[in-house]
Amino acid sequence: MVFASDSFLFLFLPVFLIVYALTPGAARNLAILAFSWLFYAWWRADFLPLIVSIAIWSWATGLWIARAEGGGRRRALVVGIIWPLASLVWFKYANMFVHSAGALGASVWGWQDVLLPIGLSFFVFGAISYSTDVFRGTVRAEPSFVNYATYQSMFGHLVAGPVVRYEWVAQRLKERTFHRAEFMFGVERFMLGFAQKVLIADTLAPLVDAGYALAAPTTADVLLAVAGYTLQLYFDFSGYSAMAIGLGLMVGLKFPENFDNPYLATSLSDFWRRWHISLSSWLRDYLYIPLGGNRGSTGRVSMNLLVTMGLGGLWHGASWTFLIWGLWHGFGLMVGRVWKTFGLPGTGAVLGHVLTLAFVMVGWALFRAQSWAQAGVIFSGLAGANGIALSPAMGAAVRPLEIATLVLGIGFIYLPKLLRIDPAAPNPGHALRAWTALPLFLFAVLVLQGRIVVPFLYFQF
């Protein structure tokens, strides 16, 4: 089940909100948990025990970590992250290792591909951050399993983020009161996120698919497809994040903002402070800083960046193309840091923005590729191997609606900056957003009736 589906909009969500409203305050976390596990089981009930087992394991070992002393705390931490991490490695990367071995001439007799449970990457990162924070003493171990499992399993962020940390919701898990204004703002965020997913991201999907399906794309074909994917990915994932934040607010839980106009960044480090913020901050706090962070020689810091971004790339998908995408960004961050270290002149805001966006889009071209062969086709086309102008095949595949949506998407990137609009701010100065949320949502629901349900892009990660 996805948020942008009739089954969620007209069955699951209304029933959940009614049951939640009728449930006494002390049992409301249990209501959220029951519906969250039902939400997950709607996809594959046979994977629900895995999710539940990770929650039980992390909760129990969290209590162990809190009570242990001396070296026992570190042993408890290691045990606490073993099962979640082992689950992630097996379900997400076993196929990649086996297929890579096959490409080198080795084979695993009778191997059958392992299906990746949706949302496992987000779920595991939440479990690891909780165990680590209890070990560091930044949060207290949660004594209630229901409260902990509600944090981990809440359907709003369960399958595609944000990567929520326990400390962000700990207080409200224990005690929260209903605020009508907060609930309505949550509804607003959900409706706008739904609209940008359906009306922009899903509308651009055929354009992107057409470009990547070409056997010999031209430079213009690739540029058009990559521009479309750049916007599709952003509006799809930021739309999901807005819906998740809205769902959280409806039940009194505050999830972090996950995007801050990333395509307005003026440097690559600025981009990563704005894009998928919950993941980038997780990589910083639980991987980059423990590796040494900015401490040490230029070479050591550069290696820390490459390792962090390389593993961040693999987190996105079990493919060597994702590793190279991560290293591409690690290399860019490394160059930017070395540039500053030696006091070389800056690029200025405008040129920095253009160079950053170009660098990011080159990365997206690889990120979208399904294989090395397809990546080779895309980059050879970008280099002009098949001509420069738009090909007849791409011209025939692209509809005026998709071009108009592309232009509209670009406008939504830059207009809030020009008009000084903060899309996440719940204050009366942005009444235009509140007035437009319902019409856009209803129009998106109408459009959805004529389409098949398009899963969120980050479901695959």
Which residues does the annotation mark as catalytic?
316
Closest CA to 357 of 313, 410, 418, 302: 410
DSSP three-state, residue 459: helix
Where is 114: in which H helix or E strand? Answer: none
Residues 249 and 189: beta-carbon distance below 8 Å? yes
Burial of residue 341 (CB within 10 Å: 0-12, 13-18, 19+) is exposed
**Tokens coding 182:** 């907060």
Closest CA to 414 of 333, 357, 347: 357
Cα dihedral across residues 367, 371, 375, 381: positive or negative: negative
Largest CA distance in the chain: 70
Closest CA to 197 of 246, 247, 234, 165: 234
Distance CA 210, CA 104 (A): 32
**Tokens coding 208:** 């992107």
Residues 57 and 88: beta-carbon distance below 8 Å? no
Burial of residue 92 (CB within 10 Å: 0-12, 13-18, 19+) is buried
Distance CA 146, CA 28 (A): 10
End-to-end CA separation in angstroms for the chain:
16
Residues 329 and 363: beta-carbon distance below 8 Å? yes
Residues 367-384 as b/e (b if ≥16 CB within 10 A, e otherwise) read bbbeeeeebebbeebbee
Task: Report the amino acid identity of residue 161.
Answer: G
Distance CA 148, CA 136 (A): 18
Closest CA to 91 of 56, 73, 117: 117
